[in-house]
Amino acid sequence: MRSVALRLINYETLKNGASETGTAATFPMTERLRPHLATLMGNGGFRALLARALVLASAEVSWLRKVIVNADGALEGLETPYAQLKPAEFRDGQVVLLAQLLRLLVAFIGPVMTLRLMGEIWPQLAADNVDFGNGDKK
Amino acid sequence: MRKSARKAKLAASKTAVPKAGLSKTTLLKKPAGNPAKVTIRKLSTGVPGLDDILGGGVPEFSLNVLAGAPGCGKTTLAHQIAFASATPKKPALYFTVLGEPVLKMMRYQQQFSFFDETKLGNAVRFINLSDVVLQKDLAAVLEEIIAQVTAANAGVVVLDSFRTLARKANSDVGEVEVQSFLHRLAQFLTSWQATTFLVGEYVEDEIRDNSLFTMVDGIIWLSQVTERNSVVRKLQVMKLRGQATVPGLHTIRITEEGLQAFSRTLGLMGDKLKPARRQRLSTGIPDLDTMLGGGILEGDSVLVAGPSGTGKSALATQFIAEGLRLGEPGIMAIFEERPQGYARRADSFGLTLKSAEQKGTLELLYLRPLDLSVDETMQAILDAIKRVDAKRLVIDSLVGFEMALAPGFRTDFRESLYRMIGALTGAGITILSTVEVEDNFISLQFSHYAISFLTDDIIRLRYVEIDGQLRKMMVVIKMRGGNHSKDIREYVITDKGVVVIHPRRTDYAEMSTGIPHRTGPRRAQENEAAPEPKASM
């Protein structure tokens, strides 16, 4: 799932330029997903899902343990790690968290529906033959 | 043609013909001599059998309640309707409110075959209103619904669960505000030409006091009826403005296909009349055909009654096999025995059913699951009849059929059977049903169901004690369509199946009791040859 997450981040990087995706203390991908998923499952639903993804991702990327999901479903506590970590490490955290979020969606609603949901945000996804069902662990 | 006349004609044609690409529009019809009336078009629910119960479908632009206790299938029904009627141009908006988490709902609902993922996001859109409901007031909820419906140009709107929304609002602002909200919501959605479904967990007592039920155009009530250990799902159309629905409780079943409804009047409508000149169908037993006056009249319902082991199933198999031989496809609805056993016995009589099954001229329907309703059984049989274009049907046996029904349906078994047989024979199918009766050696019982009124012909099989043997006799008790032999004939079951032997016996009386006594002098004879070998002791 990491490769899919990486691809989505690349889409977003290409669209917005590196300034928004890699050089600020934010996770723009989760922000991009938030309104779409909140429409579907409500803010509370999105917040719960992201919090679970964060816990799972923290097991792989330790610095994510200091990050929290606030009441609006936005991530807080990114400034310090952003200042301390190398850009590649910070980006790795983004990839892992997004991968976990996608993995959760696949677990709940299956690869086809996850692909459709993601396709609404990134239409180029369908054309790229992305496989949400491959179950990669990385 | 003058310009004004041409204009008028053009205007008239525009009124009468729906616009291309719109499957549902409101038309004006003007029967000769009557003022124009609006034609209310109907949306198909996508639920097999339900459109007929609703009188054609859900009236377009109507406001409906899908009500019932939790677990009755309301959400599944709402999804099925949404997926059936939504198009990208007129999408279905499914608003969720403080109920089942959407991810879980989608997780489970996608298991149904009607859940078409390709429609998600374009034709079917899910919108969660929980945050607005929790954080704001009803005006904000209405505003959000209006904004979403307007933006999407929705044709179908579902609010699930409306009950939760109303309950929350009731506690915050009171009933009048909720009514006002509902009124404004209904007004907007109707004006917007959207057909709306409010899903809610209600109990029947609430109908009297809750003004929601007065305001809406339609109420579809789902329930689960428990009797002893069985549970049967039911659907009732309690209200539907503007069209004639089928009254009463109808059975529904939820399978991987979604909901399926079985009208309780299935088969009572659209009966074809039996042809005036009906041919006689051979039973595959020549002597029995003679006893029946040449065979069974096409479209008759024949009851073969007899105790266990008298060859009812064998006779039924011969009836079907003879039909297949003559090019008449058949259905065997089996309730007691597995199809393999049935086919094996047929093989032992030299009546291979397998090839007919492979050719598609025969279907063995094994209908043994418990908690069936007669309507479901009838639907299964009707579907099979359509598939193979059947002319002959065997129901083996009525006792097994009754056992397969949920206890709640057993009390209505006779009535249901009447409906089913009437429907099938009305469609020109010749039915042979078997029923097990116990011989009591005092009287000749036909069936413990007292169902002879719904059969045209009755063939009774029974054991008779003669010369220290229990032999088998058959007699045609009744034939509605003509004369028949009154002879009591002995028969045996050989490797050819049921074979009638001997002309009628005149040397015995009270044969029908099963313990006849010799009336005339015993004929001089050696030991009478037994028709079947006696067991050696």
DSSP codes joined into one string, B428-473: T-EEEEEEE----SSS----TT--GGG-SEEEEEEEEEETTEEEEE
Least confident of B7-16, B83-92, B270-279: B7-16
ipTM surpassing 0.85: no
A123 in contact with chain B, both atoms CB, cutoff 8 A = no
B92-96 and B124-128: which strand pairing? parallel
- Give a yes or no: residue A116 inside a domain: yes
- For residue A113, give the nearest of B120, B127, B131 by CB distance: B120
pLDDT at B28 exceeding the cut of 60: no
Which range has the top average pLDDT, A6-15, B127-136, B250-259, B272-281?
A: B250-259
Q: What letter would DSSP give residue B528? A: P
Q: Judge contact between B60 and B92, C-beta under 8 A.
A: no
* pLDDT score recorded for residue B223: 94
The band of B442, judged by pLDDT with boundaries at 50, 70 and 90, is low
- CB pair distance less than 8 Å for A117 and B102: no
| Structure tokens, B275 | 């042809």
A117 in contact with chain B, both atoms CB, cutoff 8 A = yes
Average pLDDT (B371-398) is 85
* Chain B residues inside the 8 Å CB shell of A108: 103-104, 106-107
* Chain B residues inside the 8 Å CB shell of A43: 131
- CB pair distance less than 8 Å for A108 and B106: yes
A109 in contact with chain B, both atoms CB, cutoff 8 A = yes
In this predicted model, what pLDDT tens digit does every residue of B333-369 receive, in sequence order?
998 778 888 888 888 888 888 889 999 999 998 876 6
- Give a yes or no: residue A31 inside a domain: yes
- CB pair distance less than 8 Å for A44 and B130: yes
Distance of alpha carbon B172 from alpha carbon B126, whole angstroms: 26
Our measurement of the distance from residue B208's CA atom to the centroid of its chain's CA atoms, rounded to an integer in Å, reads 32
For chain A, helix, strand, coil in percent to 5 are 70, 5, 25
- CB pair distance less than 8 Å for A116 and B110: no
B473 burial level (CB within 10 Å; 0-12, 13-18, 19+): buried
Average pLDDT (B410-436) is 82
Distance of alpha carbon B515 from alpha carbon B508, whole angstroms: 10
The band of B181, judged by pLDDT with boundaries at 50, 70 and 90, is confident
Distance of alpha carbon B344 from alpha carbon B103, whole angstroms: 50
Which residue pairs from A112-117 have beta carbons closer than 8 angstroms and sit at least 24 positions apart in sequence? A112/B117, A113/B106, A113/B110, A113/B117, A113/B120, A116/B117, A116/B118, A116/B120, A116/B121, A117/A36, A117/A37, A117/A40, A117/B120, A117/B121
Q: Which residue of A has its CA nearest to B132?
A: A42
* pLDDT score recorded for residue B363: 93
pLDDT at B331 exceeding the cut of 90: yes
Q: Which amino acid is at B503?
A: P
* Chain B residues inside the 8 Å CB shell of A105: 103
Q: Which residue of B has its CA nearest to A36?
A: B127
Distance from CA of B415 to the nearest CA of A (A): 46
The β-bridge partners of B158 are: B94, B197
Report pTM: 0.70
Q: What is the mean pLDDT of chain B?
A: 82
Distance from CA of B73 to the nearest CA of A (A): 20
For chain A, the domain total comes to 1
The band of B267, judged by pLDDT with boundaries at 50, 70 and 90, is low
Helix (H) or strand (E) holding B64: strand B63-68
The band of B178, judged by pLDDT with boundaries at 50, 70 and 90, is confident
| Structure tokens, A82 | 């952003």
Using CA atoms of B90, A111, B80, B267 in order, give the dihedral in degrees to the nearest 10.
130
Average pLDDT (A95-120) is 89
* Chain B residues inside the 8 Å CB shell of A112: 117
The band of B528, judged by pLDDT with boundaries at 50, 70 and 90, is low
Q: What is the mean pLDDT of chain A?
A: 83
Distance of alpha carbon A68 from alpha carbon A80, whole angstroms: 13
- Give a yes or no: residue A133 inside a domain: no
- Give a yes or no: residue A134 inside a domain: no
Which of A6 and B195 is assigned the larger pLDDT?
Answer: B195
- Give a yes or no: residue A138 inside a domain: no
* Chain B residues inside the 8 Å CB shell of A45: 101-103, 128, 130
| Structure tokens, B246 | 């089928």
The beta strand positions in B241-273, using DSSP E, are 250-255, 258-262
The band of B15, judged by pLDDT with boundaries at 50, 70 and 90, is very low
* Chain A residues inside the 8 Å CB shell of B106: 108-109, 113
- For residue B110, give the nearest of A39, A110, A119 by CB distance: A110
- CB pair distance less than 8 Å for B110 and A109: yes
Q: Which residue of B has its CA nearest to A107?
A: B107
The band of B482, judged by pLDDT with boundaries at 50, 70 and 90, is confident
Give the phi and the psi of residue A72 in degrees, each rounded to 5: -85, -5
* pLDDT score recorded for residue A115: 86
A116 in contact with chain B, both atoms CB, cutoff 8 A = yes
The β-bridge partners of B210 are: none
Q: Which residue of B has its CA nearest to A119?
A: B121
pLDDT at B20 exceeding the cut of 70: no
* pLDDT score recorded for residue B371: 63
Give the phi and the psi of residue B495 in degrees, each rounded to 5: -70, 0
Distance of alpha carbon B6 from alpha carbon B53, whole angstroms: 43
Using CA atoms of B158, B162, B164, B170 in order, give the dihedral in degrees to the nearest 10.
150
The residue of A33, A113, A117, A125 whose CB has the most chain B CBs within 10 angstroms, and thus the best one to mutate to test that interface, is A113
Which domain covers residue A75, as residue numbers? 2-128
- For residue B103, give the nearest of A109, A112, A119 by CB distance: A109
The β-bridge partners of B280 are: B297
A51 in contact with chain B, both atoms CB, cutoff 8 A = no
- CB pair distance less than 8 Å for A44 and B104: no
Least confident of A53-67, A77-91, B15-29, B284-298: B15-29
Distance of alpha carbon B54 from alpha carbon B49, whole angstroms: 9
Distance from CA of B111 to the nearest CA of A (A): 10
- Give a yes or no: residue A136 inside a domain: no
| Structure tokens, B258 | 């979604």
- CB pair distance less than 8 Å for B131 and A42: yes
Q: Which residue of B has its CA nearest to A105?
A: B103
- CB pair distance less than 8 Å for B103 and A113: no
Phi-psi region of B383 (alpha: psi -120 to 50; beta: other; left: phi over 0): alpha
Buried b (16+ CB within 10 A) or exposed e, B46-73: bbbbbbbbbbbbbbbbbbbbbbbeeebb
Q: Judge contact between B369 and B399, C-beta under 8 A.
A: no
The band of B443, judged by pLDDT with boundaries at 50, 70 and 90, is low
**Could you write out the three-class secondary structure of B327-341?**
CCCEEEEECCCCHHH
| Structure tokens, B425 | 């024979």
Q: Judge contact between B85 and B156, C-beta under 8 A.
A: yes
Average pLDDT (B269-295) is 81
The residue of B94, B103, B141 whose CB has the most chain A CBs within 10 angstroms, and thus the best one to mutate to test that interface, is B103
* Chain B residues inside the 8 Å CB shell of A120: 121
Q: Which residue of B has its CA nearest to A44?
A: B131
- CB pair distance less than 8 Å for B103 and A39: no
Read out DSSP for A56-75?
HHHTTSGGGGG-EE-TTS-E
Chain A residues 25-44 within an 8 A CB cutoff of chain B: 38-44
- Give a yes or no: residue A114 inside a domain: yes
What count of CB pairs under 8 Å joins A to B? 52
* pLDDT score recorded for residue B448: 59
Average pLDDT (B260-273) is 68
- For residue B128, give the nearest of A45, A105, A117 by CB distance: A45
The β-bridge partners of B160 are: B96, B199
The residue of A36, A50, A109 whose CB has the most chain B CBs within 10 angstroms, and thus the best one to mutate to test that interface, is A109
- Give a yes or no: residue A84 inside a domain: yes
In this predicted model, what pLDDT tens digit does every residue of A112-127 receive, in sequence order?
888 888 888 888 776 6
Least confident of B81-85, B112-116, B283-287, B437-441: B437-441
Q: Which residue has the tokens 């291309």?
A: B20
Coil, strand or helix at B132:
helix
Distance from CA of B258 to the nearest CA of A (A): 18
The beta strand positions in chain A, using DSSP E, are 68-69, 75-76
The residue of B120, B144, B165 whose CB has the most chain A CBs within 10 angstroms, and thus the best one to mutate to test that interface, is B120
Average pLDDT (B378-392) is 88
- For residue A44, give the nearest of B104, B120, B131 by CB distance: B131
- CB pair distance less than 8 Å for A116 and B126: no
For chain B, helix, strand, coil in percent to 5 are 35, 25, 40
* pLDDT score recorded for residue A23: 55
pLDDT at B381 exceeding the cut of 90: no
Degrees, nearest 5: CA angle B149-B152-B158: 50
The band of A26, judged by pLDDT with boundaries at 50, 70 and 90, is confident
Our measurement of the distance from residue B426's CA atom to the centroid of its chain's CA atoms, rounded to an integer in Å, reads 16
Coil, strand or helix at B365:
strand
pLDDT at A38 exceeding the cut of 60: yes
In this predicted model, what pLDDT tens digit does every residue of B109-123 receive, in sequence order?
999 999 998 898 889
